[in-house]
């Protein structure tokens, strides 16, 4: 089984964490461990009509964010890595500074110390220098900083297309390849040589 830990925090963009789990359902060998912060549950109510039971049902195991003694808080718990999507500034800063007072930051700290892949889908803009310095610190200790910036070369027709492309790229960082959107240079990914991009120079 390939184990992946998914953390969902209170930043806007809870759909990213939900969609990641939906996409991983395509792989029968995937084992998903979910942690949702209390703030994430509040944000979810504002952003979606999805029921919490549905989201919990996408995971093989749901962990209480306050349970520091959970299995995923130990380095002996083997996993392919962890994605925090969306990741709030608070959670990012906690991880960067080694403040492991909740399960999301503790599990992320374990991932880093065990030299596994931690993907941080930071959701904040604009960033002030304190944010940038904490992100740089996090990058230096091994995290993948992944703001979910949309691609437009695949000509997304819906919000779903935008979310799917970002989630596909996040999973790529964990060496999990799910083809949910056209990739650059592949069919449907970019215009053919000489084809005018709509809205480009000269249009």
| Mean pLDDT (whole number) for 174-201 | 61
Non-local CB neighbours of 138 within 8 Å, separated by 6+ positions: 92, 95, 96, 120, 145
| Mean pLDDT (whole number) for 85-106 | 97
- What's the rounded Cα separation, in Å, for the pair 192 and 177? 25
Least confident of 36-40, 72-76, 136-140, 193-197: 193-197
Q: Write down the architecture of domain 2-173 according to CATH.
A: 3-Layer(aba) Sandwich (3.40)
Closest CA to 167 of 4, 10, 3: 4
SS3 74: coil
- CA 151 to chain centroid: 16
| Mean pLDDT (whole number) for 84-98 | 97
pTM given for the model? 0.90
The C-alpha angle 112, 118, 66, rounded to 5 degrees, equals 80
Q: Determine contact, residues 87/11, Cβ cutoff 8 Å.
A: yes
């Amino acid at each position: 089984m390939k184990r992946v830990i998914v953390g969902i925090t209170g930043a806007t963009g809870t759909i990213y964490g939900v969609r990641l789990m939906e996409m991983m359902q395509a792989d029968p060998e995937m084992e998903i461990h979910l942690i949702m912060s209390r703030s994430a549950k509040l944000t979810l109510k504002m952003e979606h009509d999805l029921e919490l039971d549905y989201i919990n049902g996408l995971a093989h195991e749901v962990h209480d964010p306050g349970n520091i003694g959970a299995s995923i808080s130990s380095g002996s718990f083997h996993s392919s890595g962890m994605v925090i999507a969306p990741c709030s500034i608070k959670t990012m800063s906690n991880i960067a500074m080694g403040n492991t007072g909740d399960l999301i930051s503790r599990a992320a700290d374990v991932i880093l110390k065990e030299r596994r892949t931690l993907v941080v889908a930071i959701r904040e803009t604009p960033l002030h220098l304190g944010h940038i310095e904490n992100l740089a610190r996090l990058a230096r200790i091994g995290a993948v900083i992944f703001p979910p910036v949309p691609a437009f070369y695949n000509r997304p027709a819906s919000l779903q297309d935008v979310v799917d492309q970002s989630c596909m790229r996040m999973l790529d960082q964990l060496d999990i390849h799910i083809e949910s959107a056209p990739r650059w240079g592949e069919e449907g990914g970019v215009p053919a040589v000489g084809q005018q991009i709509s809205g480009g120079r000269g249009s």
